[in-house]
Amino acid sequence: MYRVKEAFYTLQGEGAQAGRASVFCRFSKCNLWNGREQDRATAVCNFCDTDFVGTDGQNGGRFETAEALAAHIRSLWPDAPGKPYVVCTGGEPLLQLDEPLIAAFHAEGFEVGVETNGTLPAPDGIDWLCVSPKADAEVVITECDELKLVFPQPLAPPERFLGIRARHYFLSPMASPSVPDQGNDPVKQSNTRKATDYCLAHPQWRLTLQMHKILGID
């Protein structure tokens, strides 16, 4: 059984794949926060801005087999030229994503991207692996395509993760989880300046912004 909060066709908004047409498959559940506001303050990750609880989002649901979920995701891809690309995210997708589902996505013609907090081993077959560490949670993945760090995090300074081998290293300015996507967020404005300054001083790192929020798309 696979539990999906929502699935939708959009443009990837961050990192090395920014601007690429993608189907996002947001899995339910996370191992660093249960998603309940009353428990946010005591969670390992207390700045999440995503609703991943349940299966009641757009195109969400429960899927008995890998093939059923892969077919559902394929139905959201347009009949047009271009390599289909699915981004498995969450919550924490590696609580559910497994090799049979990856194989089913491949059988439907998809490249498979994953955005994970890195605390769980990644199954074989992933085409693009993005690791986004959170707080002091132990990261067990040691090699990935991109490392995307929400910045600043007092318990997760960038230098802590330089032992992770990645093709790309990104800083993403932390936003206030209580401010709407299109709202004025002085916290994010301040953190964008801090991330910019860090990238200028440490050019191994690149700045990435949440383009989808700037554009007002999913």
Strand positions, DSSP E, the chain: 2-11, 21-27, 61-63, 85-89, 111-116, 128-131, 143-151, 165-173, 206-207
What integer pLDDT is reported at residue 184 of this predicted model? 78
Q: What is the mean pLDDT of residues 4-10?
A: 98
Q: What is the mean pLDDT of residues 159-163?
A: 96
The candidate with the shortest Cα–Cα distance to 88, out of 120, 121, 126, 135, is 126
Query: Distance (Å, rounded) from C-alpha 104 to C-alpha 96?
Result: 14
The candidate with the shortest Cα–Cα distance to 13, out of 214, 194, 206, 183, is 214
Domain that holds residue 125: 2-215
What three-state secondary structure class fits 68?
helix
Number of domains forming the structure of the chain: 1
Q: What is the pTM assigned to this prediction?
A: 0.94
Query: Distance (Å, rounded) from C-alpha 79 to C-alpha 101?
Result: 22
Task: Tell me the per-residue pLDDT of 35-89, one tens digit each, with 9 for 90 and over.
Answer: 999 999 999 999 998 999 999 999 999 999 999 999 999 999 999 999 999 999 9
Q: Give the pLDDT band (50/70/90) at residue 9.
A: very high
Angle at 68 between CA 62 and CA 50, to 5 degrees: 45
User: 83 pairs with which residues across the strands?
Assistant: none
Task: Tell me the per-residue pLDDT of 169-197, one tens digit each, with 9 for 90 and over.
Answer: 999 999 877 666 666 789 889 999 999 99
Query: Distance (Å, rounded) from C-alpha 172 to C-alpha 193?
Result: 11
Query: Distance (Å, rounded) from C-alpha 148 to C-alpha 32?
Result: 17
Task: Tell me the per-residue pLDDT of 85-119, one tens digit each, with 9 for 90 and over.
Answer: 999 999 999 999 999 999 999 999 999 999 999 99
Tokens linked to 191: 């953190």
DSSP 175: P
Query: Distance (Å, rounded) from C-alpha 22 to C-alpha 16?
Result: 13
Does residue 216 have a pLDDT over 80?
yes
CATH code of residue 33: 3.20.20.70
What integer pLDDT is reported at residue 176 of this predicted model? 75
The candidate with the shortest Cα–Cα distance to 50, out of 89, 8, 94, is 89
* Amino acid of residue 27: F
Burial of 198 (0-12, 13-18, 19+ CB in 10 A): middle
What are the residues whose beta carbons fall under 8 Å from the beta carbon of 120, sequence distance 6 or more?
A: 31, 92, 94, 95, 140
Task: Tell me the per-residue pLDDT of 18-36, one tens digit each, with 9 for 90 and over.
Answer: 999 999 999 999 999 999 9
DSSP 143: E
Within 13 Å, how many C-alpha atoms sit on residue 142's CB side? 1
Mean of all residue pLDDT scores within the chain:
95
Catalytic residues: 24, 30, 45, 48-50, 115, 212
What integer pLDDT is reported at residue 218 of this predicted model? 78
